[in-house]
């Protein structure tokens, strides 16, 4: 019985040893993966050593090297006299390889301890992921609100070349208070996008999103909003403040305001009322027939136009149609740049209607609203959720006069848009419905790949 136990223990140890060895060999071979820019520098280093040795030999007229070679010749001859060459040769070769392996392993291990972030992920895996992300498509996402940050949270797993163009028309909550009291552009949506794209420690992101619950004048403000406001004052404008914050959070991609103008939304309702202010439009509870902004044609941020022109893929939404998506398109230069782009362009339609903005809207109504505002077709496909929410969620939202956005296929087809149906919804235990960031990003990248390769 004891012999059987020993055999089992030895077998287990051998399996574990093989597993560790195969893993280590696999990790080493990853360093030879294409695109890491490691092999070329390794070969250049070897060439440099050989060249330096040759230069040294020439400079000393080969005399020390001659005697060194003679010494090695005699020494190796003595060894082969004692131990046959067919045994001593492989043993010396093996010893040299083991020393090289040991030295390189220790060197890489030392570098890894310094560069690797917390966790068990190997440095080579981090480098491969970095290369993959920075070779991803150039994606421009246009929108605002929680919908945009939800999408960005998923997209950053596929590409680090993301540009989020964010509305600055918000005038409610902490952003609205800072806008009225200090005169800065609203930082709230920008803050959410920065946090969504952050690749830094979780604690730092939580700090950026922290909202004060007490304090005279501080209650309701988020730390990130105050941070961006202070940086705007220090650096001179919101664009520079966002750049500085992006470095602090080590975000993947960039976040840009659609304009640096102090934009204020207005909406004309079906009953004739003219409502001013982003937060007042939704609260008015009417049917919007026209929307605009003051100033009427704000200048676009040049970096935003540049990003659109260089984009491989443009995504609009998800988010509140009239107060998150369309405000960006009221910047005429942005709408014109999107319309002129030859990249695949898709609109992510909301799952549920929004009281005060899109009550009773179908998918085609969303498309018509964007077309009417811009006077041109900005996208060639629309992504819609195809699965009905649970009865619990339907009852919850019906109490708020909100219902699933109906897909009227024929009307969408007549508008010349391709329909991309997919299950992209997340529903929590209370029946609250949101887009699932990972599912949404996966579907969008799959559609982009199919469209890109089919062109």
Q: Among the ranges 45-49, 206-210, 284-288, 379-383, which has the highest mean pLDDT value?
A: 379-383
Return the number of other C-beta atoms located less than 10 Å from residue 272's C-beta.
8
Tell me the C-alpha distance between 177 and 170, whole Å. Answer: 10
Q: Name the pLDDT band for 358 (thresholds 50, 70, 90).
A: very high
Q: Is the peptide bond before 318 cis (omega within 30 degrees of 0)?
A: yes
Pair of tokens at residue 30: 């990853």
Give the SS3 label for residue 421: strand
Split at pLDDT 50, 70, 90, the class of 101 is confident
Helix (H) or strand (E) holding 263: none
User: How many Å apart are CA 305 and CA 335, to the nearest integer?
Assistant: 10
Flag whether the pTM goes above 0.95: no
Burial 322-339 (b: 16+ CB within 10 A, else e): bbbbbbbbbbebbbbbbb
pLDDT range class, residue 22, cuts 50, 70, 90: low
Residue 153 tokens read as: 């949270």
pLDDT at residue 39 above 70?
no
* Closest by CA position to 426, among listed 150, 161, 206: 150
Q: How far apart are CA 168 and CA 264, in angstroms?
A: 9
β-pairing, 274-276 with 288-294? unpaired
Read off the pLDDT of each residue in 347-353 and give the average, rounded to a whole number. Answer: 97
Residues linked to residue 348 through DSSP beta bridges, in sequence order: 383
Query: Of 299, 287, 297, nearest to 375 (Cα)?
Result: 297
Cα–Cα distances in angstroms (integers) from residue 287 to residues 247, 263, 267, 322, 348, in the given order: 42, 22, 10, 11, 22
| Residue 256, token pair as written in the block | 């840009």
* Dist CA 363 CA 347 (whole Å): 10
The neighbouring-strand residues paired with 420 are 383
Residues 437, 438, 440, 445: what is their CA dihedral angle, to the nearest 10 degrees? 130
Confidence of residue 77 (pLDDT cuts 50, 70, 90): confident
Rg of the chain taking only CA atoms, in angstroms: 31
pLDDT, position 360: 94
Q: Give which of 318, 405, 321 is closest to 363, Cα–Cα.
A: 405
**What would the mean pLDDT of 417-438 be, rounded to a whole number?**
94
Q: What is the pLDDT of residues 370-382, one digit of tens each?
A: 999 999 999 999 9
Check pLDDT > 60 for residue 20: no
Nearest CA among 418, 420, 419, 425 for reference residue 439: 425
In sequence order, which residues have a C-beta less than 8 Å from that of residue 346 and are 6 or more positions away?
314, 315, 316, 379, 380, 381, 382, 383, 420, 444, 447
Q: Which of 54-63, 123-132, 231-240 is modeled with the greatest confidence?
A: 231-240
Q: What is the 3-state secondary structure (H, E, C) of 185-247?
A: CCCHHHHHHHHHHECCCHHHHHHHHCECCCCCCCCCCEHHHHHHHHHHHHHCCHHHHHHHHHH
When the pLDDT of each residue in the chain is averaged and rounded to a whole number, the result is: 84
Count other C-beta atoms under 10 Å from residue 106's C-beta. 10
> What is the spatial distance between Cα 113 and Cα 271, in angstroms, rounded to a whole number?
66
């Amino acid at each position: 019985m004891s012999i059987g136990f020993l055999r089992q223990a030895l077998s287990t140890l051998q399996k574990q040893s093989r597993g560790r060895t195969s893993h280590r060999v696999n990790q080493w071979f990853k360093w030879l993966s294409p695109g890491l820019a490691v092999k070329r520098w390794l070969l250049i280093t070897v060439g440099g050593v050989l060249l330096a040795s040759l230069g040294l030999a020439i400079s000393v007229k080969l005399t020390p090297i001659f005697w060194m070679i003679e010494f090695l010749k005699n020494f190796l001859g003595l060894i082969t006299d004692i131990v046959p060459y067919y045994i001593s040769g492989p043993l010396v070769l093996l010893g040299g390889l083991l020393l090289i392996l040991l030295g390189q392993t220790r060197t890489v291990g030392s570098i890894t301890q310094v560069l690797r972030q917390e966790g068990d992920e190997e440095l080579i895996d981090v480098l491969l992921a970095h290369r993959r992300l920075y070779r991803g498509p150039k994606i421009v996402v246009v929108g605002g609100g929680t919908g945009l940050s939800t999408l960005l949270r998923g997209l950053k797993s596929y590409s680090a070349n993301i540009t989020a163009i964010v509305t600055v028309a918000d005038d409610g909550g902490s952003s609205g208070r800072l806008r009225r009291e200090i005169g800065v552009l609203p930082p709230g949506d920008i803050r959410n996008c920065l946090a969504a794209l952050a690749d830094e420690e979780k604690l730092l992101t939580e700090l950026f999103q922290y909202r004060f619950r007490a304090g005279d004048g501080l209650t309701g403000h988020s730390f990130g909003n105050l941070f961006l406001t202070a940086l705007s004052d220090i650096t001179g404008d919101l664009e520079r403040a966002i750049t500085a914050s992006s470095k602090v959070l080590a975000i993947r991609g960039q976040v840009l305001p659609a304009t640096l103008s102090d934009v204020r939304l207005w909406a004309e309702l079906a009953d004739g009322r003219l409502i001013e202010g982003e937060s007042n439009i939704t609260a008015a509870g009417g049917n919007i027939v026209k929307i605009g902004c003051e100033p009427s044609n704000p200048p676009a941020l040049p970096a935003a136009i540049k990003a659109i022109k260089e984009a491989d893929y443009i995504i609009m939404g998800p988010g509140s149609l009239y107060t998150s998506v369309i405000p960006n398109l009221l910047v005429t230069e942005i709408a014109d740049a999107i319309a002129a782009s030859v990249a695949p362009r898709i609109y992510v339609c909301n799952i549920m209607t929004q009281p005060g903005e899109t009550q009773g809207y179908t998918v085609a109504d969303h498309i018509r609203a964007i077309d009417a505002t811009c006077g041109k077709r900005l996208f060639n496909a629309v992504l819609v959720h195809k699965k009905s929410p649970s009865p619990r969620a339907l009852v919850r939202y019906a109490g708020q006069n909100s219902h699933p956005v109906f897909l009227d296929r024929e009307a969408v087809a007549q508008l010349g848009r391709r329909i991309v149906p997919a299950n992209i919804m997340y529903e929590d235990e209370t029946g609250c419905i949101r887009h699932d960031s990972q599912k949404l990003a996966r579907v969008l990248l799959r559609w982009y790949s199919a469209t890109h390769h089919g062109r």
